[in-house]
Structure 1
Amino acid sequence: MSSDFLPLETLSPIETLEIENGLSLVPRVKLNFTVHPSLPSSATKPIDEWKLKRSLIEFAKTSLSITIPADDLEIRRFKDVKKRKRDDPVAHGSLSIRDLGFLNSKKRNEEESEDLKILGKKFRDWRDTVVEKMDQMEVNLQGEKYRLSVAVPESDDFEGMKKLWEEFYAFANKGYVRGGKQEPDTIVMKGVPSRWVAEPRVSSKPSMLVTHTVFSTFGKIRNLNVTEDDDQDKDADENGGDIISGLHCKIVVQFEKHRDFYNALKVLCGRSLQKQGSRLKADYEVTWAKDGFFRNSRSQARENSRVPAAGRGQHYRNEAPRHEPHLSQFTADDTRRKRFKVRTHPTLFLAMLLVLQSKIS
C-alpha cells in the first residue's frame, strides 16, 4: 500500500511512504527480547539459536496468527556464558512483524480522519497485546528452559518519546525557544546504510546533498549533519565478526518548524528503510536530540576560529589550550635586546645627558 503525495498527517501506521532517492519507509513492528535461563543447567550451556528461532516462529503462527520469516528473527549469544551468573541473560535479539495489512479493515476514502485515529489505537493495542503475550514466556528447547523479556524499542515508541520531550522542556531551562515555548526540532538517525545516501558513481560515503534531498521530504531543513557511524553492533557476541568501517551513517537533521519535526519523527518511528531494487530492509534507530547538537557545533566552530593559525596544526585537539613552557627572562638574547632598547631610546638618552650636565656644573 503506497502513499504517494499524501500529507504526513494523514499517513496511517501501516502504510508505506515513498521518499526521495528511491527510498521507502516500510511499516513494521519490532520487538527486542532478552533470553534468561530458567534452569541452572541452562545458564552455562550455549543456546541453540536455530531451535529458538523455530520455537518463536511456531508460537507466532499458532498464538498470534502471524507468519514471521526466519530472516526477520535475529538472535545473538552473549560471550563467555560459562563465566556469567545464574540469572544473567544468555542471548538477545529482535523480531520484526512486517505484514500488517490485516489491521486495516476499511479503505482510505471511507471516513478517513476518523479511521486514522481508530487505526492508530488499534495498531498500538495490538502491539501491546503481542508484547504482553510474549513477555515472560517460557521456551523449552529439548529440556533446556529459557524465559524471554520482550519490549518495544524506545526508538519505535513515538508516544513515549513525545512524553519525554514534553517533560524535558517543561522542567529544563535549555533548548530552543519557539514563540515563548521550548520545543524539540532535531532528529538523530543511526544505522542508515551509507551507500543509500551516497552519490552514485562518485563515492560510497554518505553525501550531504543526497541526505538533504531525502529529508526535505519532511519539511524545510535548518541544519544537517551526516557522518560515518561505526558504533553499530559494538556489543559483540560469539557470532560477531569484525566491523567493516563506513557501512552505516549517522544523520542529524534540524527542521525550521516543530511541526515538521513532529511529523517526521512520527513517520520514522516503527518503520524500516528500503532501497528500490534491494531486498535489504534497514532497521535504523531514531530519536530526538536534547543536547543542542547544532548549537554546540556552532560554539565549537567559533572557539576553533579564535585559535591562531599557527596553533591549528595537526597536533591541535578539541581541548582547553595548554600554556607554553615558561621561558626565563634572563637569556642572553633577551638581555641584549633590553640593553639595546635602553641605549637607543631618545627620552632616556636625553634624561641621562641632563643628569650628567647637572653633575658637571
Structure 2
Amino acid sequence: MNNRPLNSLRPTETLELESGLSLVPRIKLLLTVHRADKSVNPFDEWKFKRSLIDYIKSSFFITVPEEDLVIRKFKDLNKRKREEPVARGRLFVHDLGFLSKVISETEDDVERADKKFLEWRRGFVVKLDGIELNLEGTKFKLNVAVPVSDDFEGMKKEWEEIIAFGARGYQRSGRMQPDTIVLKGMPSRWFAETRVSSKPSMLVTHTIVSAIGKIRNLHVAEDNSVGDDADEEDIVSGLHCKIVVRFEKHKDFYDALKILCGRSLQKQGSRLKADYDVTWDKDGFFLDARHQIEERKRMPARGMGERDDGYRQHSRVSQFSSEEGQKRFKE
C-alpha cells in the first residue's frame, strides 16, 4: 500500500489501497448525441463509435479502445422530438501517459500539476463539444460534459457557498465544514470477506477506506442506483454497494474527495474497473438518526434477533478508529 500523503499525489498517479485494490486515474466524459440535420435515418451506434474513435485519434493522437466508449441510443426514438437527443454515452481515457508532456514527471508542485491537468481536460472538452460527425450522409452533433462526480472544484465551490449563505441547514460558520463522502456503485464483492459472503463487510470496508483518511463513522449497504448517468441495464440488484464515510477531520475529507474524483477502482488481477459515483454529503447522513430506522425497515424479513445483532454490529464497527479496524482485520 502507498503510504505517501494524499496531498502529494499528482492527478496522473495511482493510489494503492488494501485488499489488492487501487485507485487508477482516468478521464471520464458524458456524451449526448443529437441530430444535426433534418434526416430521420436510424442511428447506428457502432458506426458512431468508430467515427468518434477515429476523430479522437486523428485530432488528439489519443487511442481509445472500443470498450472505453459506450454509446446507447434511446429506446423511444420514434416518440422523441427532433431537438431531443437520440443517444447518450460515456467516454473513458485510461492511458494518460501522453499527459507526461503536459505534466512534467519531475513536477513537485502538486497544485501546479493539478492546474495543468484541469486546463488540458477543459481544452479537450471544449474541442470535442459541439463537433458534427457525418455517418454516410447523416449528421449527428456531439455534446460533451465532465460529470459532477469528477468535478472536485465544482463540489468545493458548492459547499463553500452553502457555508457562506447558510443553505440546506448549514450555519454561517467556517467551522461547519463538510466531513462526509458518499460513494455509490462500488462492487460489493470487492468489499466482502473472501469465502464468507458476497455482501460487503463493514470490517473490510473500514480497512480499505481508512487508507485515505481517519474514519469517524462508516455505513455500507446494498446500492441499486449506480449513478445519474447509468443506464437501467447497468443496474443489477446486489452487485453494487453504497458507502458513506465520515472522516475525523475536514482535511481528511478534502484530500480523500480530491483523490476519489477522476479515478476508478481496480482490483489486482482483474481488468474490470469500477466506475463509481462520488459526492459529498449535503444532508447530514450521520447527524440524522432517522437513516438508521429507515435502513432497518428495508432489511429483508428475518428473525428479530438476527436483525438486532446485525444492527448492533453495524453500530459497533462504524465507530472503529482506523487503527482498531486494521488490527482486527489482519487477525
Same fold (TM > 0.5): yes
Shift of 1:119: 1.8
CA distance in 2, matches of 1:168, 1:28: 29
Quote the residue 2:176 is aligned against. Answer: 182
Shift of 1:304: 11
1:102 matched to 2:84? The reply is no
Percent identity of equivalent pairs: 61
Quote the residue 2:11 is aligned against. Answer: 13
Quote the residue 1:66 is aligned against. Answer: 62
CA distance in 2, matches of 1:52, 1:35: 10
TM-score by length of 1: 0.76
CA distance in 1, matches of 2:260, 2:295: 35
For residues 147-296 of structure 1, the aligned pairs below 5 Å read: 147-172=141-166, 181-232=175-226, 241=233, 243-296=235-288
CA distance in 2, matches of 1:225, 1:291: 15
DSSP 3-state at the match of 1:183: coil
CA distance in 2, matches of 1:288, 1:32: 20
For 1:265-302, what per-residue CA distance to the aligned partner results, in whole angstroms no more than 9, with x for missing partners? 00000001000110001111100011001111x25658
Quote the residue 2:26 is aligned against. Answer: 28
For 1:326-358, what per-residue CA distance to the aligned partner results, in whole angstroms no more than 9, with x for missing partners? xxxxxxxxxxxxxxxxxxxxxxxxxxxxxxxxx
Confirm or deny: 8 A CA contact 1:190 1:285 kept in the other structure: yes
CA distance in 2, matches of 1:162, 1:69: 32
CA distance in 2, matches of 1:140, 1:268: 37
Give structure 2 stretches of 5+ with no counterpart.
297-303, 305-331
DSSP 3-state at the match of 1:140: strand
Confirm or deny: 8 A CA contact 1:103 1:122 kept in the other structure: no
Query: Would the alpha carbon gap of residues 87 and 303 (structure 1) be closer, same or farther in structure 2, given more than 3 Å must change?
Result: closer
**Equivalent of 1:49 in 45, 48, 57:** 45
Shift of 1:104: 2.5
CA distance in 2, matches of 1:304, 1:126: 43
CA distance in 2, matches of 1:235, 1:95: 12
Confirm or deny: 8 A CA contact 1:226 1:252 kept in the other structure: yes
TM-score by length of 2: 0.83
Confirm or deny: 8 A CA contact 1:175 1:290 kept in the other structure: no
**Equivalent of 1:77 in 57, 65, 73:** 73
CA distance in 1, matches of 2:141, 2:291: 48
Q: What value does the CA root-mean-square deviation take over the aligned residues? A: 2.6
Query: Would the alpha carbon gap of residues 144 and 303 (structure 1) be closer, same or farther in structure 2, given more than 3 Å must change?
Result: closer
Residue type of the alignment partner of 1:134:
L
For residues 312-327 of structure 1, the aligned pairs below 5 Å read: none
Aligned residues: 296
CA distance in 2, matches of 1:98, 1:30: 9
CA distance in 2, matches of 1:236, 1:119: 30
Query: Would the alpha carbon gap of residues 242 and 63 (structure 1) be closer, same or farther in structure 2, given more than 3 Å must change?
Result: closer
Residue type of the alignment partner of 2:53:
I
Quote the residue 1:145 is aligned against. Answer: 139
CA distance in 2, matches of 1:178, 1:220: 26
CA distance in 2, matches of 1:190, 1:123: 25
Confirm or deny: 8 A CA contact 2:185 2:225 kept in the other structure: no
Residue type of the alignment partner of 2:180:
T
**Equivalent of 2:85 in 75, 84, 89:** 89
Shift of 1:241: 4.4
Larger gyration radius, structure 1 or structure 2: 1
CA distance in 1, matches of 2:225, 2:262: 22
Shift of 1:41: 2.0
Confirm or deny: 8 A CA contact 1:135 1:148 kept in the other structure: yes
1:39 matched to 2:37? The reply is yes
CA distance in 1, matches of 2:96, 2:11: 9
Give structure 1 stretches of 5+ with no counterpart.
306-312, 314-361
CA distance in 2, matches of 1:133, 1:144: 21
Deviates more, 1:255-264 or 1:97-106: 97-106
DSSP 3-state at the match of 2:216: strand
Query: Would the alpha carbon gap of residues 208 and 236 (structure 1) be closer, same or farther in structure 2, given more than 3 Å must change?
Result: closer
